[in-house]
Copies of this chain bind each other. A is one copy, B any other.
Amino acid sequence: MPSTRQRNTVLATAATVSAGALTFVAPPSTPSAARIEPGVATGYAAASQPQSSAGAVGAAMLAAGCAARVTTKGKGQRKAVKVAAVSTDTEVETDCINSIRFLAVDAVNKANSGHPGAPMGQAPIGYLLFAEEMAYNPTDPTWVNRDRFVLSSGHGCMLQYSLLHLAGYDSVAMDDLKQFRQWGSKTPGHPENFETAGIEVTTGPLGMGISNAVGLAAAEAHMAAAYNKPDFTLIDHYTYTIAGDGCMQEGISHEACAYAGHLGLGKLIAFYDDNGITIDGHTDLSFTEDVGKRFEAYGWQVLVVEKGDEDVGAIRKAIADAKACTDKPTLIKVKTTIGFGSPNKADSHDAHGAPLGADEAEATRKQLGWSYGEFEVPDHVYAAFKKQADAGKEKQAEWDKLFAAYKEKEPELAAQFERAVLNRKLPDNWEECLPKLTPEDKGKATRLHSQDCLNAIAPVLPEFMGGSADLAPSNMTLMKCTGDFLKDSYCERNFRFGIREFGMGAVCNALSLDKTGIIPYCATFTIFTDYMRSAIRIAALSQAGTIFVTTHDSIAVGEDGPTHQPIETIPSLRLIPDLTVMRPADGNETAGAYKYAVERSKYESRPTMMAFSRQALPNIPNSSIENTLKGAYEVVECEDPEIILIGTGSEVHVCIDAAKDMDQKVRVVSMPSVEVFRSQPDSYKESLLPKGVPALSVEAAVTTGWGEFSTAQVGINVFGASAPGGTCLEKFGFTAANVKECAERCLKGETGCLSDGSQGKH
């Protein structure tokens, strides 16, 4: 490997190879003044003549094996090299940054759709992360100790695609960039982890990404605390995110970032791209808070880079300062120019969400002195990124060796790590831990059965972790075998999310998408899933294995009244594609729901939402985990029914009671999960709910949608009321007597909603 001096010599020798093909923004480079100074932006036009391309070619040589910076000698030495080679590095650096910019410009132009402005301003940050700072391996995008990157301002995804492409990820070839935002491409309009390897989480809905980053950093903190041993630092990575003005305005950023400050997540480094432009125009219109001061109030370190479009050194220094602060997350507020380099659209809303167009792209090339064509990237730029990717591969190889030694020294932990983290398997027969109940067992609220399940699972699955949005004593979600996950106790597993439902959901989604085998759960009242509905949706879309535990699932909430009584909530969650909703009726169904949710999280990385009762319920004779996993099954058996009563959750028991009073042949079906039942074989579905047999569904929720399974419905299509829970159930029609009466009408051929709760409106 050549020394620094040798390297510079090589670069100088090679400088003629492609000179003339490159132009530079910077003034003619001299060893002492090559770094672009802040404030020279206005001098661009003068810099459009060709300059030395020594740096560029140097980088190409590095890729051919001369990489002085491909080193495993540690940070100190790397820094020395960089200082020595500052002039050439600066030029390569500029080319790398402009490559990012123009890939974004060109892809958005080609798609005739997208957001070029943000990538043009954020390119220097992206360059530093992917060409200098981050440890990653493009050939193994899921390496457990990789640094994580989240583009919270997901609309600027051409930044991320450009970076993944330059860094050598197969998932984003040049052809993929050319297919930006087209049908079937790997480069959709917002980053989608399930489409594109190298993307950690799905972003776009603003504020969610930075909240995911908090979750990834929390995962790192926990994994490090749980597995690292003296001389064996298995987990030790950073989480970086770039967030824009929109992210900062969204309430979820408050929730998640206040929580991150509370936790003191020192390895979370967030860039705030302070470009002052949103869709409506300048942020003066709506957004004049002091973001830095706000983050200081959260307990973050706050750093400022004034000239983020050009002052790469200042960003580099800020990252170093961020890393030096180990007990607080860091916000680096970087002042950038949206559409940087575009003579007519920079610093305006015009650069935000529309293509620059061919003419302006050309004018921007001129202004930035960029002589390459559309989608053209010079080799030395690829080389610069390859260097970092190669370093990442090397780091992973070292990690593999470390883990091999760890297996010798810490066989038990290593076995657990292999199972839970690397292979993402559950222990054999893990489900034997789940409680089994008989009708002789005292009936209790399913939220208490849920507590039993959580506490049965917790000792068996060390990767099981989560908590409640300040409703632990109501949701019954504390695990007794572990303590609180707090600043000084990252190895513990009870999360204290605070009253921050949306942030909680996004944090938990990231715990799953960290891909280190964590099975996250989070909890609130059923009604307050509304506060985090978007996080639940994104869990389903982005294949995050979050388990949403909710309690107080109907008007039986009682005295808290209609603000707290879900009516439409559970049916509305059933509408979200790829989400499974479970509403168990007793202890065994609760155990079944947990078996389903845990396995679906671990093996399929898919979310489950569960709704538990506040009130006590008896145990059903033939309930079981197996029956629950059919989605629906007979609880009162009847071979040749005249009518079928279908209940979910607490209403199963109302159906059972009604059936007892009826003279007809009645089958009662418990349907803990509509989605699971839908996925059963047609033969089973037809045998359980034969066509032609009248069926009455009973659920303390809106009746919309039940026509799929029942001919007539008992439900509640009005808001509830404040009164004791039993009174609410009675007044709104959830009594055996009313169900019996409706069943008789159903038998006579009446269809549709027979009891909608309006009788309870006073």
CB of B727 within 8 A of CB of A183, answer yes
CB of B289 within 8 A of CB of A258, answer yes
Q: Contact flags (1/0) for A289-307 with B, using CB distance below 8 Å? A: 1111110111100000000
**Chain B residue at minimal CB-CB distance from A573:** B572
**Chain B residue at minimal CB-CB distance from A716:** B577
CB of B204 within 8 A of CB of A279, answer no
B-side contacts of A567, CB under 8 Å: 577
With A245-B499, A574-B704, A708-B707 already in contact, the answer to whether A563 and B204 are too (CB < 8 A) is: yes
Q: How far is the CB of A327 from chain B (nearest CB, A)?
A: 13
With A189-B564, A704-B574, A762-B184 already in contact, the answer to whether A286 and B298 are too (CB < 8 A) is: no
Q: Contact flags (1/0) for A473-487 with B, using CB distance below 8 Å? A: 110000000001010
Residue among A181, A188, A258, A563 with most chain B CB within 10 A: A563
Q: How far is the CB of A583 from chain B (nearest CB, A)?
A: 16
Contact of A181 among B192, B245, B723 (CB under 8 A): B723
**Interface residue A537 (Cβ < 8 Å from any Cβ of B):** yes
CB of A298 within 8 A of CB of B287, answer no
B-side contacts of A574, CB under 8 Å: 704
B-side contacts of A750, CB under 8 Å: none
User: Interface size bucket, A side?
Assistant: 35 or more
B-side contacts of A722, CB under 8 Å: 181-182, 185, 188-190, 192
Q: A537-574: which have CB < 8 Å to B?
A: 537-538, 540-541, 558-564, 567-568, 571-572, 574
CB of B251 within 8 A of CB of A251, answer yes
**Interface residue A497 (Cβ < 8 Å from any Cβ of B):** yes
Cα distance A202–B562 in the bound complex, in angstroms: 10
Contact of A279 among B183, B251, B252, B474 (CB under 8 A): B474
B-side contacts of A246, CB under 8 Å: 470, 499
Contact of A534 among B114, B279, B291, B530 (CB under 8 A): B530
CB of A704 within 8 A of CB of B702, answer no
With A502-B251, A568-B577, A705-B704 already in contact, the answer to whether A280 and B473 are too (CB < 8 A) is: yes
**Interface residue A737 (Cβ < 8 Å from any Cβ of B):** no
B-side contacts of A69, CB under 8 Å: none
Cα distance A121–B576 in the bound complex, in angstroms: 42
Cα distance A289–B258 in the bound complex, in angstroms: 6
CB of B280 within 8 A of CB of A731, answer no
**Chain B residue at minimal CB-CB distance from A705:** B704
**Chain B residue at minimal CB-CB distance from A757:** B577
Cα distance A188–B561 in the bound complex, in angstroms: 7
Residue among A486, A533, A567 with most chain B CB within 10 A: A533
**Interface residue A719 (Cβ < 8 Å from any Cβ of B):** yes
CB of B251 within 8 A of CB of A503, answer yes
Cα distance A541–B498 in the bound complex, in angstroms: 26
Cα distance A707–B762 in the bound complex, in angstroms: 30
Cα distance A720–B384 in the bound complex, in angstroms: 37
**Interface residue A240 (Cβ < 8 Å from any Cβ of B):** no
B-side contacts of A114, CB under 8 Å: 559
B-side contacts of A203, CB under 8 Å: 563
**Interface residue A216 (Cβ < 8 Å from any Cβ of B):** no
**Chain B residue at minimal CB-CB distance from A248:** B499
Q: Could you write out 30 A-B pairs with CB less than 8 Å apart?
A: A181-B559, A181-B723, A190-B563, A192-B563, A205-B564, A207-B251, A250-B255, A250-B531, A251-B254, A258-B287, A262-B286, A262-B288, A279-B474, A285-B486, A285-B498, A286-B470, A286-B498, A288-B299, A290-B297, A292-B297, A530-B534, A533-B533, A571-B575, A572-B575, A574-B704, A575-B702, A575-B704, A577-B702, A705-B705, A707-B707
Q: A205-B528, A249-B500, A286-B496 are in contact. List 9 more A-B contacts (CB 8 A).
A: A183-B723, A192-B561, A207-B251, A249-B499, A258-B289, A262-B289, A278-B498, A290-B296, A290-B297
